Structure 1
Amino acid sequence: MAGRMEGKVAFITGAARGQGRSHAVRLAEEGADIIAVDICETIPQLEGYYPGTTEDDLAETVKLVEKTGRRIVAEKADVRDIARLEQVVKQGVATLGGRLDAIIANAGIAIGNHWHGYSQDEWQVTIDINLTGVWNTVRASAPAMVDAGNGGSIVLVSSTNGMKAGPFAAPYNASKAGVTALAKTFAMELADHGIRANSIHPGPVDTPLGNRAGGGIQELDAENPGLLAMYSNWKKGNPAFMDPLEISNAILYLVSDESTWTTGLAMAVDGGTTVY
């Protein structure tokens, strides 16, 4: 039986590990060919916080996608560099048959601190990657989707913090709220081309970023105790962090033909964190 993404091509940022790798492999399992990018280096502002991705990480994503029998074009690229993204998309679309059906803007970072503890560089790099990087991703790739004339689906990876701001994450909150608004903007303005746009809002995910950000804020709670209750969810008796596959399966729905009437949606996959 044909997969739910058979004959389609998906562009995924931040694909070297974590959620991005999971999304690439899951869509490939359902028949998609993949264009994948990642910065493959440690960003200076994150040194000592959590390690960056490597070229070996991206090579492992390539191996796992190819194991499904699908093709992949994988390149080192920084989402802050729109010219590089345009170059990779052009190369990938040409190699994989001249079409682009799905865009998953997944690359992002998180730095936890008190509002007064952030340096200007930490604020700026978070906005540049998490918000401007998402804008660059769509600007660099959506024209190929429009030109192909097959419609398509854009998924912007936001966060629970993009729906309900949490403590000790001021720049992250601001960037992810902006991503939520961008998804609605793209949903309106690209509908005429048959292109859907939605945002997805993960709760705590078992990745290097998720584990460090989630664990690190425990240390910050002592100065202003009680605020971490805002991150609580209803998944009692379960692991504190979900498998990235939970998010990948939701993205699969949003980029497949099962969601042709789903656009402008902010979809939370968070165990109920954003319900109250």
Structure 2
Amino acid sequence: MGRVAGKVAFITGAARGQGRSHAIRLAEEGADIIGVDICAQLDTVPYPMSRPEDLKETVRLVEKTGRRMLGFQADTRDLGALQAAVEQGVAEFGRLDTVVANACTLNGTAAAWELTEEQFEEQVGVGLGGTWRTVKATVPHLIDQGQGGSVILISSTSGLAAELHVAHYVAAKTGVTGLMRALSAELAPHMIRVNSIHPTNVHTPMIENQHLVDLFAGGRPGFTFGNEEIRRGFQNMNALPVPWLDPVDISNAVLYLASDETRYVTGTTHVVDAGALAPFKHPHDYS
């Protein structure tokens, strides 16, 4: 028996990256998956976003584990689309146990006052508003079932500390942290647990793209994601000597919070950050 055998999980941003990894990891441990993803490009996002074929591939990989998955193309800014996906998924699988609000983007970098209004509104609309809509579309089902459940909000180290040139992302992820705390109190009487996960950089298309490479390179041409100097730039953000996490590192935390091992864990900020938030100094800081 797997750690989440017989459970059903709803995951946003499931077409690739962390969302795909969460779907596969939960399926490996016995869960069926309802997954949604926008599978389209947003105008303010400077790197290629997911496509419908990416979501189909996630479905294939989940089914390869022996579990089932329903995949829906839906924008987390569209409450009706989320509700329709949840309704169809619950009708098919008969229940809902776990919600993973994972979908987010990083739509550019600039000083807070230099961000465009469109950048700020779209970032917060997807990262925070989309998380709230995910909760609104799913939590009524958990309450009606009367069997508790686990709601997992994917925040970031940016949701716990300041980071430069991503104020819109910091605002969204800090909002997710606050939303988690409020929900954990409101849903506790229903035995519904709510926790957030706070990763450092994770090796997904959100960081493996030329826009962030150019930022870390300081505008110097000719750098790629595989360049050692870029790798060191990412590594300098963490205390452990690693540049980034793999998606499965976050998925293992998702699995833990989705399982009955954490049946009395709620209202927590679960940090998986390679020591990024630790009060450390790199050797070059002493020179």
TM-score, normalised by the number of residues in structure 1: 0.92
Q: Output the CA distance in 2 between the equivalents of 1:136 and 1:104.
A: 12
| Structure 2: runs of 5+ lacking an equivalent | 221-232, 280-287
Q: Deviations over 1:171-208 (max 9, x none)?
A: 00000000000011110000111100000001010000
Establish whether residue 127 from structure 1 lines up as the match of residue 99 from structure 2: no
Task: Give the structure with higher Rg (CA).
Answer: 2
Distance apart, 1:216 and its partner CA: 4.7
Paired residue total: 265
Contact 1:114–1:220 at 8 Å: present in 2 too? Answer: no
What is residue 273 of structure 2 aligned with on the other side? 270
What is residue 224 of structure 2 aligned with on the other side? none
Match of 2:240 among 228, 231, 235: 235
* 1:134-145 map, 5 Å: 134-145=131-142
Equivalent AA in structure 2 for residue 215 of structure 1: V
Establish whether residue 255 from structure 1 lines up as the match of residue 253 from structure 2: no
Percent of aligned positions that are identical: 47
What is residue 225 of structure 1 aligned with on the other side? none
Q: Where in structure 1 do 4 or more consecutive aligned residues deviate above 3 Å?
A: 212-217, 219-222, 228-231
What is residue 99 of structure 2 aligned with on the other side? 103
1:70–1:115 CA distance, 2 compared to 1 (3 A): same
What SS does the aligned partner of 1:273 have?
coil
* 1:24-39 map, 5 Å: 24-39=23-38
What SS does the aligned partner of 1:184 have?
helix
Equivalent AA in structure 2 for residue 242 of structure 1: L
Equivalent AA in structure 1 for residue 244 of structure 2: F
Equivalent AA in structure 1 for residue 216 of structure 2: Q
Contact 2:235–2:244 at 8 Å: present in 1 too? Answer: no
What is residue 218 of structure 1 aligned with on the other side? 216
1:62–1:275 CA distance, 2 compared to 1 (3 A): same
Contact 2:17–2:205 at 8 Å: present in 1 too? Answer: yes
What is residue 188 of structure 1 aligned with on the other side? 185
Contact 1:150–1:194 at 8 Å: present in 2 too? Answer: yes
What SS does the aligned partner of 1:12 have?
strand
Distance apart, 1:146 and its partner CA: 1.0
Q: Output the CA distance in 2 between the equivalents of 1:231 and 1:131.
A: 28
| Range that drifts further, 107-116 or 175-184 | 107-116
| Structure 1: runs of 5+ lacking an equivalent | 223-227
Distance apart, 1:113 and its partner CA: 1.7
What SS does the aligned partner of 1:85 have?
helix
Match of 1:74 among 46, 49, 71: 71
* 1:160-175 map, 5 Å: 160-175=157-172
Equivalent AA in structure 2 for residue 28 of structure 1: A
What is residue 197 of structure 2 aligned with on the other side? 200
What is residue 285 of structure 2 aligned with on the other side? none
Distance apart, 1:242 and its partner CA: 1.3
* 1:4-19 map, 5 Å: 4-19=3-18
